[in-house]
Amino acid sequence: MRLVLLMCLLASASNSQWLNLPTPGIPRTQDGKPNLTAPAPRAQDGKPDLSGLWSTPSDRYYNNIAVDVKPEDVMSWADALYRQRLQAFGKDSMETLCLPLGPASMTGPFRDFKIVQTPALIAILFNDMTNRQVFLDGRQLEKDPNPTWMGYSVGRWDGDTLVVESNGYTPRVWLDWDGHPHSGDLHITERFRRIDFGHMEIRMTLDDPKAYAKPWTVTLKQELIVDTEMLEFVCNENEKDRRRMDAKGPEISETLLPEATLARYVGFYDFVDDGKSHSIEITGSRGALYWDQDGGGKQRLLPFSDKAFSLSGTALEFESSGGPATHVLVRFVEGEIKAVRRK
């Protein structure tokens, strides 16, 4: 299951190197634990220091960065391409083809990143060995850039907030796992604000008038990873298996589920994975069912049938004997996880 399993695999990988080497400069409590609510550090030039190893705890916007965009604000060509990609379960996605993730590198828990800050340049290093360079030397973005996977970025300080402007993304980059496209005019503005020592907020605004009628903003919560180092993640080129990926998901339509069907599944479900407890809230609204794991935000479930659904390619099946569902099975290649309804 990409949603949970990859998160756990990458988290365990990140914690498997230099376990007994505390991160230098980390404020600690009397018992030696990291004090992640201590004040945010500052660099020698007085600016907030964003340096460190960071991770995004939620995959809501990684799955669907346009989850809050109104359907009428998506251009017809972009909507048609999105639906085509979503039905194919990511057959031509960057993940499947082992290509750089572009903007999606910042939005999900599957790519830890390290920030290295200097007065004139900020380097963002990802565990898949891609990188971003944010130039703070006063240069402007090119008006006609050569398309790249990770884009071009320039930055400036607005008080204690780092403002980064980026462009030049190749249209081959998807904006999320589900497959929202963009044109060559995509412009992204990010506002990095370190809240305290262990937490950072990134407000990402996407502006692409050829694909979306209005700009929109998503807020990404980042958590500092301490007392470990970033372990490289290498994508294994998978072209031999890709030709067998011929599954097709449900048509994306405005067909709504009966309220009685939704009512059977609405509630809270709990499961334990890799020793960690997780909670799922299932809600229903206007004929649609929504999944919210650990408070990360609602994500719509697309129906295969009246009891089987897809969450960005992850298969879910509710078990019910006509009344409220007793549990939901989350199925993936490596096995399945059973989330039990809370009493």
69 three-class SS:
coil
Domain 2-225, CATH? 2.40.128.20
Query: Residue 255: what pLDDT?
Result: 65
Judged by average pLDDT, the poorest of 34-48, 280-294, 311-325 is 311-325
> Is pLDDT at 6 greater than 50 in this prediction?
no
Same topology, domains 2-225 and 259-341? Answer is yes
pLDDT of residue 249: 60
Report the pLDDT value the prediction gives residue 207, as an integer from 0 to 100.
98
Tens of pLDDT, residues 236-286: 755 555 555 565 665 655 567 888 889 999 999 999 988 889 999 999 988
Strand partners, 202: 192, 220
Which residues have CB under 8 Å from 249's CB, separation 6+?
A: 86, 87, 88, 89, 302, 304, 310, 313
- The architecture (CATH level 2) of 259-341 comes to Beta Barrel (2.40)
Q: What is the pLDDT of residue 188?
A: 98
Residue 320 has pLDDT above 70, yes or no: yes
Domain segments of the chain as ranges: 2-225, 259-341
Confidence of residue 176 (pLDDT cuts 50, 70, 90): very high
**DSSP per-residue codes, 171-190:** TTS-SSSS-----TT-EEEE
Q: At residue 99, what are phi and psi to the nearest 5 degrees?
A: -115, 160
Give the pLDDT score at 1: 42
Q: What is the pLDDT of residue 215?
A: 98
- pLDDT category at 155 given cuts 50, 70, 90 is very high
For the chain, what's the residue count?
343
Helix, coil or strand: residue 105? helix
Task: Indicate the average pLDDT of the chain.
Answer: 88
pLDDT at 233: 85
Predicted local distance difference test score (pLDDT) of residue 161? 98
Question: Is it the case that residue 31 has pLDDT exceeding 70?
Answer: yes
pLDDT > 90? residue 172: yes
pLDDT above 70 coverage of the chain, percent: 88
Q: How much is the pLDDT for 2?
A: 46
The pLDDT value given to residue 14: 42
* Contact between 163 and 190 (Cβ < 8 Å): yes
pLDDT at 157: 98
| pLDDT, average across residues 324-339 | 88
- Of 166, 119, 121, the C-alpha closest to 140 is 166
Spatial distance between the Cα atoms of 26 and 34, rounded to a whole number of angstroms: 6
What does the alpha-carbon distance between residue 322 and residue 307 come to, in Å, rounded to a whole number? 11
